[in-house]
Each structure stands twice: as structure tokens, then as C-alpha cells.
Amino acid sequence: MELEHEFERVVAADHRVEPRDWMPDGYRRTLIRQIAQHAHSEIIGMQPEGNWISRAPSLRRKAILLAKVQDEAGHGLYLYAAAETLGADREDLTAKLVEGRQKYSSIFNYPTLTFADVGVIGWLVDGAAIVNQVPLCRTSYGPYARAMIRVCKEESFHQRQGYELLLTMMRGTQAQRDMVQRSVDRWWWPSLMMFGPPDTESTNTEQSMKWRIKRHTNDELRQKFVDMTVPQAEKLGVTLPDPDLRWNAERGHHDFGEIDWAEFWQVVGGDGPCNAQRIAHRRKAHEDGAWVREAAAAYAAKKSGEEQVA
Amino acid sequence: MNAYEGLVDTGEERHWAFGTGFTAALSGVDRALPAEVDTEDLTAYCLMLGDDALILSQRLAEWCSRAPELEEDVALANIALDLLGQARLLLTRAAEADGVACDEDTLAFTRDEHEFRNVRLVEIDCGPGPGGDFAATIARLLVFSTYRLALLQRLTGSRDPVLAAVAAKGVKEVAYHRDHAAQWTLRLAGGTEFSRERMVAGLERVWPFVDELFAPHPVEARLPGIAVDSATLRAEVDEVLDTVFAAASLARPEVSPLATVAGRGGRDGVHTEAMGYLLAEMQHVHRSMPGATW
């Protein structure tokens, strides 16, 4: 009881909970699940953009894209490390991912069909991720909050690079402008879905807010994203594919149309355009690399054996 | 700065949220062409070294999201990025020496296969495709980075200040690449029985392409003081590789070198069948959208 009071006091005072502090089992489980899903999202997220590294149409864009996908691997690494501070094991979390027992952000189950998608993912998907993640820099669990500060800085950099690609393309040929618009048409609604189900249907929100893991509801964050993005779309010269999107002076926010929640649940449920492909890709890399990891472990064991003998 | 802040306020000035801190890789280097140089030869030489880096970078980037471990995803992408950076500097120098209005992208994306001057070693599939695996990738990286480090070390003394500066920057990078490959060679050779078999097979996969690295080329001979004579690198490369092989208890592969085609190899624009597919993929978007800006 005393431990629980101390935990509640720390959380209520907006102080950070650290790995060696006592914490309720539910808090630990919720965090491991959330951080693992976040790490999985970074790793699966390497695929849709990695799809365009080999075909990037300029060497500068190739370098930017390769560096970005490399950053995502880095984000995955330190998020797995944050999960390990809670007693999770990376190998075990990876097994859960490739066996479909843990989820990742559904946005990565959509295909990247043109190079414009690289820019639109940077602008909308990374933009939505930033809106979701900036509050996590103040989340109650210390290692997660600190990891998120670095992740958010890099995501912000990625978002600007994506937007800059789109600005450049919109100033290019008509074919490029058309390519950007088609890409926006495909990514707009899935980006809005990134904030999760509406508050009335979100099962995890209430407890997570009480523990200060989460600080805003899904709908609050979604509204913030829409309000932020509309002027950026205008500046870019693209049309967001929503006839109901308009400024509501009374609310001081943009109204927007109804999200296709049937599609959302279909993709979350495993039947998105690329769910099977993404998992199969990750599983293949993991399985193909098993003998390399075994070799490294065997070599390390031999070396430490030799040192003990010597 | 608040990461929420809109992009629109600052987009025009390319004003990044957290700053970039980047300076141009060769800022302050004299870009004048050296006196009494045949610019066609200098262009060709820059393409030889630039294409090696570009094509191997393209191959290594194929590993991205396919590596045996996340740390290795990061490492291989990093090596690919270093090589891409070297390629961009060298292709830019080739464009300058050429004097015709072109840039790194014109050279990378609009040349045809027979105009690429890279050695065949860098273009073959050594994995993750069906032509190889992680061990073959490491074997190629070990050979190539050992060769390139020896080359760049000598090139730091080039009479062309740009080549000398590119080399000075590259030496630090490639020394790391060589170390990374050597470390993995030890682990794969000394890990499990299976990994050792794969390492031996990987070396056998790349070995037929090794001799081409040291074949003296007329372009090098016509650029005294500027280019490095490839034949002079062999002793040092052999010594380094033998040291790694000894530490890993590996034997130098006994595989015959691959013939050229009527005396011509990669440096003369005669490549393997793999090259056409690599270029088709690399150049497709750029060529499909003429007049586009990226």
C-alpha cells in the first residue's frame, strides 16, 4: 500500500517513474505493450519507405531517404531498449511481432506506390506521429519519455524533409503535381486513422490518462492534426480529399468528414493492403539472419571461454 | 522550438526545426582543375572511383530492413550512406572536369550501362538477393574496403585538390568499413560450423572478381600525380587480407579470376548481366519523368 501511494504521488506530481521504482503490474504491462508496439511500428515502418531507396530519382533524395530509414531502425532500437528496462526481452518482443501477437501502427499496412509517397509520408504520417508523440516526451515513465524526446526531434526533421520534397515537386512539372495530389488522396484518411478509434470506443484511454502515460484523447489529437495540416496543404497547393472539411469559427477548429471506421477496423484486424506482406518481410529477415546471430553468439562464447582459461 | 509549429511559416527559408549543423563536405577546397591535365581522362577517373561507390552503395542499401539484426541494419545503411556521399563528390567532380552542362544526377541517372566504369565486383548480387547472403556481402565488403582504403590513402596526395580532399574524407569512413567487415569475417569464420561454411562460400563467390581491382588502366597511366596506379595496391591489400584470413583461420580461396570480354571489363564499360537490372531499377523514376525537379 505504501509503495502504491508513493507511485501515485510521483505520477500526480508529474515526476518520472524510473526502472527500479515500484510500479503496479498493470502499469508495467501497459507500458511494455505500448513501447513494444511503438518499436515495432518503427521497424515495420522501414519497409514502405525503404521500398523507394533503390529508385529515388536524385542522389540527394536517395541519401535523405536512406538516412531516414536508418533513423527508424535507430528509433526501434532505443524503444526496444526502453521496453527492456521494464523486464521485457527484445527477442521475445520480436517473436510476438512476427507471430502477429503484438501490433504496430496500421498506417504501415498501406502501400507506397510512387516517389511522392515518400514526401507525403514525411508530411502527413510523420506529422501525425509527432502530434501523437510530443505529449509522450512528458509521459510518466522516465526511459520512455527520454527516448521520445530524441525520437520527436528526428521525426520533426523527417517531416520537414518530406514537406520540402513536396514543395519541390509542386514547383516541378504537371506530372509531378498530379503525382503529389494522387498520393495525398491516398494517405489523408489513413493519416487521420493514426490517432486511433474515436474516444467513445477507445478502450485504453481512461486508465492510461490516469497513469499519465497518455495525456490527450485520440479525438483531441486528431483535431489538432487537422487544424495544423490544413494551412500546410493550402500553402502546398494540394486539395485534401474531404468535401466536408471547413473552418468552424464557432468551435475555433476545422470540421471534417466521417472517417471510414469499417476500413480502419479491417486494417487493424489484419486485412489491410499490406499486413501479410509486412509481417512476412520482417519474419523472413529475422529467420534468414538467425544463423548470423547464432554465429555471433557462438563466437562471443568461445572468446569469453578463452579469456577465462587465460 | 515547438515541434507542433506549422511548416508553412518557415518552409521558404528551408529553416529546419532543430537546425542542421551541416556544412558542405568540401567547403574551402580549391576546385580549379590541375594544370596540364587531360580533362577527359580526369572525368573518366572520377567516374571509375565514383561509380564503384555508387553501385556498391546501391547494393548495400538493399539490406535495409533485411539485415540479421537491427544494429546491422543501421551499420550497413551507414556504410551505404558513406559510399553514396563519396559517389556524389566524385560524380560532381567528373561533371566539372567534363565541362559539359551536367551534374551528379545526370551522370548517375542518364548514362547507359556501357558508360559506367565501376569494377564488376561491386555490381554483382551478393545478397540479400538470391546471388548471395550476409557472408557474401561481408566477403565483398572486406575485399572492396581493403582495396579502397589502400587506394584512398595514396590518393590523399593527388595533385587534384578535390580528389585529395575526397580521399582524406573517405579514408576515415572506409577504415571503419574495413574494420566492420573484418570483425564479421572473424565472427562468421569462428562462430558455428554453418557460418564458417557460408563465409568460405562467400569468399569464393567474390574472389573471381578480385584481380580486376588491380588491373592497371590506361586512364590511370595518363594521369601521373593525380591518379593512383591500381597495380601498386596489390601487395598491401594482400597483406591485410592475409592477416584477416590468418586470424580467422581461413585459407585464401583457390578460385580462378574471371575473364574480361575481348580484353575489356567493368572499367571499360563491359559489365555483368546483373548491371542492367540494377540500373533499370535505379534510373527508372528519373528517366520516366523528363524535366522533373527533385
- Could you report the per-residue pLDDT of B198-231, keeping only the tens digit for each? 999 999 999 999 999 999 999 999 999 999 999 9
Grid coordinates representing B162 are 578535390
Local confidence band at B17 (pLDDT 50, 70, 90 cut-offs): very low
Question: DSSP secondary structure string, A204-263?
Answer: SHHHHHHTTS--S-HHHHHHHHHHHHHHHHHHHT---S-TT-EEETTTTEEE-PPP-HHH
Local confidence band at B15 (pLDDT 50, 70, 90 cut-offs): very low
**Predicted ipTM?**
0.95
In this complex, do A169 and B188 lie within 8 Å of one another by their Cβ atoms? no
Which of B 45-74 lie inside 8 A of A, CB atoms? 54, 58, 61-62, 64-74
Could you give the domains of chain B?
37-288 (1.20.1260.10)
Local confidence band at B19 (pLDDT 50, 70, 90 cut-offs): very low
Local confidence band at B22 (pLDDT 50, 70, 90 cut-offs): low
Residue A85 and residue A102: Cα distance in Å, rounded? Answer: 19
User: Shortest CA distance to A275 belongs to which of A109, A113, A112?
Assistant: A109
List alpha helices for B62-160, DSSP H. 70-98, 104-110, 134-155
Query: How close, in Å, is residue B139 to chain A by CA atoms?
Result: 14
In this complex, do B7 and A55 lie within 8 Å of one another by their Cβ atoms? no
Q: Which candidate in A54, A72, A120, A254 is best for mutational testing of the B interface (most B CBs within 10 A)?
A: A54
List, in sequence order, every residue forming a beta bridge with A254; answer none if it has no partner: A247
Query: How close, in Å, is residue A155 to chain B by CA atoms?
Result: 9
pLDDT 10s digits, B168-207: 999 999 999 999 999 999 999 999 999 999 999 999 999 9
pLDDT, position A211: 87
pLDDT, position B14: 44
Grid coordinates representing A197 are 478509434
All residue ranges of chain A with pLDDT < 70 are: 310
Angle between helices B134-155 and B39-61 (to 10 degrees): 150
Contacts of residue A61 in chain B, CB cutoff 8 Å?
A: 294
Q: Is B114 on the interface with A (CB under 8 A)?
A: no
Contacts of residue A232 in chain B, CB cutoff 8 Å?
A: 6-8
Q: Which candidate in B16, B20, B58, B70 is best for mutational testing of the A interface (most A CBs within 10 A)?
A: B70
Local confidence band at B116 (pLDDT 50, 70, 90 cut-offs): very high
Q: Round the average pLDDT of chain B to a whole number and report it.
A: 93
Question: How many angstroms separate the Cα of B277 from the Cα of each of A90, B53, B119, B272, B284?
Answer: 37, 18, 16, 10, 10
pLDDT over threshold 80, residue B120: yes
Q: Which candidate in A51, A62, A302 is best for mutational testing of the B interface (most B CBs within 10 A)?
A: A62
- CB burial of residue B278 (10 Å; 0-12, 13-18, 19+): buried
Query: What sign has the CA pseudo-torsion A140, A144, A147, A152?
Result: negative
pLDDT 10s digits, B260-283: 999 999 999 999 999 999 999 999
Give the residue with greater pLDDT, B269 vs B20. Answer: B269
pLDDT, position B3: 52
Query: What sign has the CA pseudo-torsion A257, A262, A268, A274?
Result: negative
Residue A126 and residue A107: Cα distance in Å, rounded? Answer: 11
User: Shortest CA distance to A27 belongs to which of A144, A116, A125?
Assistant: A144
Give counts: helices (H), strands (E), chain A.
13, 2
In this complex, do A176 and B289 lie within 8 Å of one another by their Cβ atoms? yes
Q: Is B123 on the interface with A (CB under 8 A)?
A: no
pLDDT over threshold 70, residue B253: yes
In this complex, do A74 and B17 lie within 8 Å of one another by their Cβ atoms? no
Contacts of residue B194 in chain A, CB cutoff 8 Å?
A: 291, 294-295
Local confidence band at B6 (pLDDT 50, 70, 90 cut-offs): low
pTM over 0.90: yes
pLDDT, position B9: 54
pLDDT over threshold 60, residue B13: no
Residue A165's CB: how many other CB atoms inside 10 A?
22
pLDDT, position A212: 84
pLDDT 10s digits, A148-178: 999 999 999 999 999 999 999 999 999 999 9
Residue B166 and residue B156: Cα distance in Å, rounded? Answer: 8
pLDDT, position B24: 78
User: Shortest CA distance to A14 belongs to which of A129, A132, A131, A137?
Assistant: A137
Query: What sign has the CA pseudo-torsion A14, A20, A26, A28?
Result: positive
List, in sequence order, every residue forming a beta bridge with A255; answer none if it has no partner: A246
Of B11, B58, B194, the CB nearest to A163: B11
Q: List, in order, residues 6 or more apart from A263 with CB less than 8 Å away.
A: A189, A193
pLDDT over threshold 60, residue B21: no
